[in-house]
Amino acid sequence: MSLPTRQIGPFTVSAIGLGCMNLNHAYATPPSEAEGTALLNRALDLGVTLIDTAALYGLGANERLIGKAILHRRAEFTLSSKCVLDMVDGKRALDGSPAAIARTVEGSLGRLGTDHIDMVYLHRLDQRVAVEESVGALVRLKEAGKIGAIGLSEMSAATIRRAHAVHPIAAVQSEYSPAVRNPEIAVLQACRELGIGFIAFSPVARGLLAGAVRSADYAQHDIRATMPRFIEPNLSHNLAIVDAFDALAADAGCTPAQLSLGWVLSRGDHIVPIPGTASIAHLEEDIATLGISLDQAVLAQVDTLFETRPIRGARYTAAMQAQIDTETFAGEDFARP
């Protein structure tokens, strides 16, 4: 199957990609290896050509799953992974030093079972290391033929510009949805000016705009159980906004997830959302968005809803926010230590 495409750096990819974190990381009990394998192959069958993973996900299990499940179909997709965040001695570690980056990428290559990754992101900014040094490490890996392009994740416009001055950045990845608008502060404009693609992760707001959150009764190990906007006293306020959003989707004749993805797609041709899911039914629902035409009036109603009734609560806990370089709105800063 062939899907509409968009350009991200040197790559032509499907207008919706697949974020693979859900298959091994952060959202309660992951699917079995067989279920994850089936979902990855179904994504390729549907025409998805951007597969996104990271060294951190599942302590490397996500990369091993992808290597085992779909690397035999390598010619069908663009593969991206991430460094700087990794597991060291069983613990999550942030290290943007050139040595750590080289070590992480070598580990990713081994787990994936390949000698080349199309794009590698700096997963987070290590404030102890100049971003120029971290980008330089990726430039050397590119020159060695181990990676094809360089990306940045959760970084500010100022950092993006510094990194891009060292070497052209192919893509910037950050959270973006009708409910999460931080990239609009400065990052999207910087990407447009510099010709950088934008990869929107969590484009359905970690399930909030896809009917997946109705209470704070999360399963064990669900990352949302500690995130301020997903717990009280903020959640009840936010769910009332979600009810209004769901009504807009119903009036538009689509699901809430499709309305959210359609809205993200409408924000610019350089933007590619990468929803994640462990459900083939949800995957098919997400990809079906590309066959839906949303009226501009509906998209305007979405804007009005979240502008007049903004989501309450920070995106991350204080500890997590300490590793985030992306600009924040007033009211989010309390999440910083």
Q: Where are the beta strands (DSSP E) in 95-248?
A: 117-122, 147-153, 171-175, 197-201
- Bridge partners (DSSP) of residue 187 are none
CB atoms within 10 A of CB 162: 15
Return the structure tokens found at 292.
């839906």
- Bridge partners (DSSP) of residue 94 are 85
Closest CA to 256 of 265, 272, 244: 244
Count the helices and strands in the chain (H runs, E runs): 11, 12
Would residue 218 show up in a list of annotated catalytic residues for this protein?
Answer: no
How many residues does the structure list for the chain?
A: 337
Return the structure tokens found at 149.
């392009």
- In the set 27, 57, 176, 316, the catalytic residue is 57
Maximum Cα interatomic distance, the chain, rounded to a whole number of Å: 53
Closest CA to 329 of 175, 124, 207: 175
How many Å apart are CA 313 and CA 335, to the nearest integer?
Answer: 9
Rg (CA), the chain: 19
3-state DSSP call for residue 155? coil
φ/ψ of 276, rounded to 5, equals -115, 150
CA-to-CA separations, 241 to 29, 206, 207, 237, 334, in angstroms, rounded: 28, 15, 14, 7, 22
Return the structure tokens found at 121.
């992101």
φ/ψ of 55, rounded to 5, equals -60, -35
**Residues annotated as part of the active site:** 57
